[in-house]
C-alpha cells in the first residue's frame, strides 16, 4: 500500500519538544555541574533515570493497545503485520528495563555501594533482548541468495572491524583484567559485546529496510543505537582506565534512548494511517535497491583501512601481547571476508546481468507480440474500413436499385394503364384496328413489366447460377434475325443496322440464354445510340490456336455488337458487369434501366463456357463494342451444286415482327 503523505500529528511535535527541552537541560546540567560533586553525582543519576522514563513514555504516545484487538473483530490486521503491532511495546519494555537498572544503580550510589556486578546490571542487560526482537520484527527487503550473502558479509566485515578495535581498547582489556572475578569479566564483556551486535543490527536495518513509511523510524532507530554504542564505548574505556566520573558522557544515554522512543512513536503514526509495513513478496521489489543505500555498500571498505592502521600501530609497538595477536587475527579474518565478499559481488553481478538479459529478451518478445497485435489491429481496422466502405457502397447500390426499379416499373405500368383506360372510356366506339393497336401496346407493356420483374427476381435469387444450359446447335444468323424481329419497325427504321453474319456460322449454346444476351446487347445499342447512326452486329469464327488444339478445346465464335454512342470511360469498364450497376452519367440522364442487363448477360455467357467484355475509348461518338464468345460447330462441307452463301448486310426495318421484348439497360 502506498504511504499516505501528510503533516505529522501535533503529538509527535510535542514529543520532539519534550526531547529537545529535556536533553538541553540535562546537557547544561552535566556541563555546569552545579552543587557539590556528591550532589551532582546523585542529580546526574536521577536525570539519567528520568530520561529513560521519558523515553518509555514516548514509545507509548498515541499507542492503541494491541491486546484490545485480540478481543475485537472490528479491525482486521494487515497481512504479515500482526506481530509488528507489538514493536512500540517492545522498545518501551527495553527502555524501561534500562530505567529499572538506573533506579537500582542510583539507590546503590546513594548508599555508597560500588558492587560489580549488581542487580542494576541485570536491568541494564535486560534491555538488549527486547531491542533485538524489535529490530528482528521490523520489515526488511527480501533479497536473492547472492545479495543476502553479500549483505551478511558486509555486516560481518563491519562487525569484525568493530570487534578488532573493541578487542584492543575495550573487550580485550576487560576480559584480561586479573583482579576481576569470572562473573565480573563475563558481565563486563557483555556490554561491549551487545554493543557490537547492535552495530550489526543497525547495519541490517539500514541496508534491508525499504518501506517509505518506516524510513523515519529506521533513521531514528539507527541514530539512537549509534549514540548508545558511542556512549557505552566511552564508558567502557573510561572505566578500564579508572578515570570514569559523572560528566558529559552521561548525556549520551538519554539522547539515544529517547530517540528510540521517538522512533517507536513514528511506527504508531504509520499504523494509524493504515500504512502497510509488511515486506513486499515479489522478487522484483527485492532487486530494486533504493539510491539512499548506495553509500552503505562502501562502509565496510571505509573501516578496513582503520583496522590496518591499527595493525601497523601494534606492529610498531612490538609488544606481542594477546591484544596485538587479536588485532592481527582480526585483520586476517577481514582479508578473508573481503575476498569472499568480492566473490559474491561477482556472482551477484553475473546474476543481475543474466536477469537483465532475460528481462531484455522478455521485453523483446513482448514488443514483438505487441507489434504483431498492432499489425493484427491495423489489418482488422483496414478490414473494418473496407467492410464499412463496402456497406456504404451496398447501401448506395440499394438506393440506386430501388430508384431504378421504381422508375422502370412505373413506365410500363403507365403504358398499360393508359391504353386500358382509353379502351374503357371508348368502349364500343373504336374501330377494330385501333382497338387491336391499343391492346397490342398494353400487351407489350405487360410483357416488358413481366420480363423486368423476372430479371430482378433471377438476379436476387441467383437462378442464373443454378440453371444448367440446354445446349443446341443454333445458327447465329437465324438467332439474330429472330431477335431483330422483336423490335418495333419504327425503332429499326431510325437506325442504320448492319448485320455481318454468314449463314454457315453455327454455335453450341442454350437458345434462351443466347436469345436473352442478344436482346440485352441490341436494346442497349438502341438506347445509347442517337437515331440516324450506325449499329453493327457481327459473328465470325475465331482462329484456333495450337494450344487450344492440343488441349482439345472446341473452336469458338466471336459475336459483337458495336454502337456509335457516347462510349464508356475506361475507369468505369471494370464496374460495368456488376449487379445493379449503372454509370453516374446515366443516373441523371433520360435512359432508363435497372443495371441488370449486362450482369445477366455475363452470367449467361459464362454459364455457356464463353466470356464477355467491352471495348471502348470513352470518346463520345466513337461508341462501344460489346463482344462475347461461344463454342462453335464445324461448318458443314459445301455442296458443289449450290452457290456459296453470301454474307448478309441489310436494314431489317421493313417487315420486322412487331412483337417486342423487354429493353434492359446497362
Q: Is the pLDDT of residue 279 over 60?
A: no
5-9, 112-116, 545-549, 614-618: which range is least confident on average?
545-549
Which 3 state secondary structure label does DSSP give 509?
A: strand
Distance from C-alpha of 113 to C-alpha of 111, rounded to nearest angstrom: 5
Predicted local confidence at residue 334, as pLDDT: 83
Q: Which residues contact 230 (CB under 8 A, 6 or more apart)?
A: 252
Mean pLDDT of the chain: 76
Q: pLDDT confidence of 389, banded at 50, 70, 90?
A: confident
Distance from C-alpha of 652 to C-alpha of 629, rounded to nearest angstrom: 24
What is the average per-residue pLDDT within 198-207? 68
Q: Which long-range contacts (CB under 8 A, 24 or more apart) does 25-28 make?
A: 26/51, 26/251, 26/254, 27/248, 27/251
Predicted local confidence at residue 605, as pLDDT: 93
Among residues 187, 171, 185, the alpha carbon closest in space to that of 126 is found at 187
Distance from C-alpha of 91 to C-alpha of 618, rounded to nearest angstrom: 100
26-35, 72-81, 347-356, 451-460: which range is least confident on average?
72-81
- Percent of the chain predicted with pLDDT > 90: 15
Q: Is the pLDDT of residue 374 over 70?
A: yes
What is the average per-residue pLDDT within 125-133? 85
- Count of Cβ atoms closer than 10 Å to residue 575 Cβ: 11
CA distances to 378, 379, 384 from 374, rounded to whole Å, are: 6, 8, 15
Q: Is the pLDDT of residue 650 over 50?
A: no
Q: Which residues contact 127 (CB under 8 A, 6 or more apart)?
A: 94, 95, 97, 98, 101
Domain 472-633 belongs to what architecture?
2-Layer Sandwich (3.30)
Give me the phi and psi of 647, to 5 degrees please: -70, 135
Q: Which residues contact 344 (CB under 8 A, 6 or more apart)?
A: 146, 149, 150, 153
Beta partners for 114?
A: none
Give me the phi and psi of 517, to 5 degrees please: -65, -45
Q: Is the pLDDT of residue 506 over 90?
A: yes
Enumerate the domain spans of the chain.
Answer: 1-141+210-287, 142-208+288-409, 472-633
Beta partners for 633?
A: 506
Predicted local confidence at residue 562, as pLDDT: 93
Which 3 state secondary structure label does DSSP give 229?
A: helix
Each residue of 300-350: pLDDT tens digit? 677 778 888 888 888 888 766 777 888 888 888 888 888 888 887 788 788
Q: Is 108 exposed, middle or buried (0-12, 13-18, 19+ CB in 10 A)?
A: middle
Beta partners for 557?
A: 541, 630
Greatest alpha-carbon pair distance for the chain in Å reads 168
166-170, 462-466, 577-581, 607-611: which range is least confident on average?
462-466
Q: Is the pLDDT of residue 75 over 80?
A: no
Q: pLDDT confidence of 561, banded at 50, 70, 90?
A: very high
Predicted local confidence at residue 403, as pLDDT: 64
What DSSP line would sit under 123-159, residue for residue? Answer: HHHHHHHHHHHHHHHS------HHHHHHHHHHHHHHH
Amino acid at each position: 500500500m502506498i504511504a499516505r503523505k501528510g503533516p505529522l500529528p501535533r503529538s509527535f511535535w510535542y514529543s520532539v519538544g519534550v526531547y529537545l527541552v529535556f536533553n538541553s537541560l540535562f546537557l547544561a546540567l552535566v556541563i555546569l555541574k552545579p552543587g557539590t560533586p556528591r550532589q551532582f553525582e546523585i542529580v546526574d543519576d536521577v536525570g539519567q533515570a528520568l530520561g529513560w522514563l521519558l523515553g518509555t513514555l514516548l514509545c507509548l504516545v498515541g499507542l492503541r493497545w494491541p491486546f484490545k484487538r485480540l478481543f475485537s473483530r472490528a479491525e482486521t490486521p494487515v497481512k504479515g503485520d500482526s506481530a509488528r503491532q507489538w514493536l512500540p511495546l517492545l522498545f518501551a519494555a527495553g527502555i524501561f528495563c534500562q530505567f529499572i537498572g538506573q533506579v537500582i544503580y542510583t539507590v546503590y550510589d546513594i548508599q555508597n555501594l560500588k558492587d560489580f556486578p549488581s542487580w542494576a546490571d541485570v536491568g541494564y542487560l535486560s534491555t538488549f533482548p527486547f531491542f533485538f526482537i524489535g529490530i528482528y520484527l521490523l520489515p526488511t527487503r527480501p533479497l536473492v541468495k547472492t545479495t543476502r550473502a553479500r549483505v551478511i558479509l558486509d555486516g560481518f566485515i563491519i562487525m569484525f572491524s568493530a570487534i578488532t578495535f573493541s578487542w584492543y581498547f575495550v573487550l580485550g582489556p576487560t576480559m584480561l583484567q586479573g583482579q576481576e572475578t569470572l562473573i565480573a569479566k563475563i558481565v563486563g564483556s557483555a556490554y561491549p559485546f551487545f554493543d557490537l551486535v547492535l552495530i550489526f543490527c543497525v547495519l541490517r536495518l539500514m541496508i534491508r529496510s525499504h518501506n517509505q513509511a518506516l524510513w523515519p523510524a529506521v533513521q531514528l532507530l539507527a541514530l539512537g543505537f549509534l549514540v548508545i554504542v558511542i556512549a557505552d564505548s566511552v564508558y567502557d574505556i573510561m572505566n578500564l582506565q579508572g578515570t570514569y566520573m559523572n560528566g558529559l558522557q552521561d548525556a549520551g544515554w538519554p539522547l539515544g534512548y529517547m530517540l528510540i522512543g521517538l522512533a517507536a512513536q513514528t511506527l504508531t503514526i504509520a499504523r494509524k494511517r493504515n500504512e502497510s509495513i509488511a515486506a513486499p513478496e515479489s522478487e522484483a521489489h527485492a532487486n530494486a535497491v533504493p539510491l539512499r543505500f548506495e553509500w552503505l555498500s562502501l562502509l565496510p571498505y571505509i573501516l578496513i583501512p582503520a583496522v590496518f592502521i591499527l595493525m601497523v600501530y601494534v606492529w610498531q609497538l612490538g609488544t606481542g601481547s594477546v591484544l596485538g595477536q587479536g588485532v592481527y587475527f582480526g585483520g586476517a579474518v577481514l582479508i578473508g571476508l573481503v575476498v569472499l565478499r568480492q566473490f559474491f559481488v561477482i556472482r551477484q553481478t553475473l546474476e543481475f546481468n543474466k536477469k537483465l538479459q532475460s528481462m531484455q529478451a522478455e521485453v523483446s518478445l513482448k514488443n514483438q507480440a505487441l507489434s504483431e497485435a498492432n499489425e493484427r489491429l491495423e489489418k482488422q481496422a483496414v478490414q473494418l474500413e473496407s467492410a464499412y466502405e463496402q456497406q456504404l457502397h451496398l447501401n448506395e447500390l440499394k438506393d440506386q436499385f430501388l430508384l431504378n426499379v421504381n422508375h422502370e416499373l412505373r413506365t410500363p405500368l403507365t403504358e398499360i394503364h393508359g391504353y386500358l383506360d382509353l379502351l374503357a372510356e371508348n368502349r364500343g366506339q373504336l374501330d377494330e384496328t385501333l382497338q387491336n393497336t391499343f391492346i397490342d401496346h398494353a400487351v407489350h407493356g405487360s410483357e416488358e413489366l413481366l420480363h423486368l420483374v423476372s430479371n430482378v427476381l433471377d438476379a436476387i435469387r441467383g437462378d442464373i447460377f443454378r440453371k444448367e444450359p440446354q445446349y443446341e446447335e443454333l445458327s447465329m444468323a437465324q438467332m439474330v434475325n429472330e431477335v431483330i424481329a422483336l423490335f418495333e419497325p419504327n425503332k429499326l427504321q431510325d437506325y442504320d443496322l448492319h448485320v455481318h453474319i454468314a449463314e454457315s456460322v453455327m454455335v453450341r449454346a442454350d437458345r434462351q440464354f443466347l436469345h436473352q444476351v442478344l436482346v440485352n446487347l441490341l436494346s442497349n445499342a438502341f438506347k445509347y445510340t442517337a437515331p440516324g447512326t450506325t449499329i453493327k452486329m457481327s459473328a465470325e469464327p475465331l482462329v484456333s490456336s495450337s494450344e487450344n488444339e492440343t488441349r482439345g478445346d472446341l473452336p469458338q465464335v466471336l459475336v459483337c455488337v458495336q454502337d456509335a454512342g457516347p462510349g464508356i470511360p475506361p475507369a468505369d469498364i471494370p464496374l460495368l458487369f456488376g449487379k445493379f450497376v449503372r454509370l453516374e452519367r446515366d443516373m441523371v440522364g433520360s435512359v432508363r434501366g435497372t443495371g441488370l442487363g449486362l450482369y445477366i448477360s455475363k452470367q449467361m455467357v459464362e454459364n455457356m463456357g464463353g466470356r464477355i467484355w467491352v471495348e471502348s475509348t470513352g470518346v463520345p461518338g466513337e461508341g462501344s463494342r460489346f463482344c462475347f464468345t461461344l463454342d462453335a460447330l464445324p461448318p458443314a462441307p459445301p455442296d458443289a451444286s449450290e452457290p456459296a452463301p453470301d454474307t448478309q448486310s441489310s436494314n431489317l426495318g421493313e417487315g420486322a415482327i412487331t412483337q417486342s421484348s423487354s429493353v434492359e439497360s446497362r
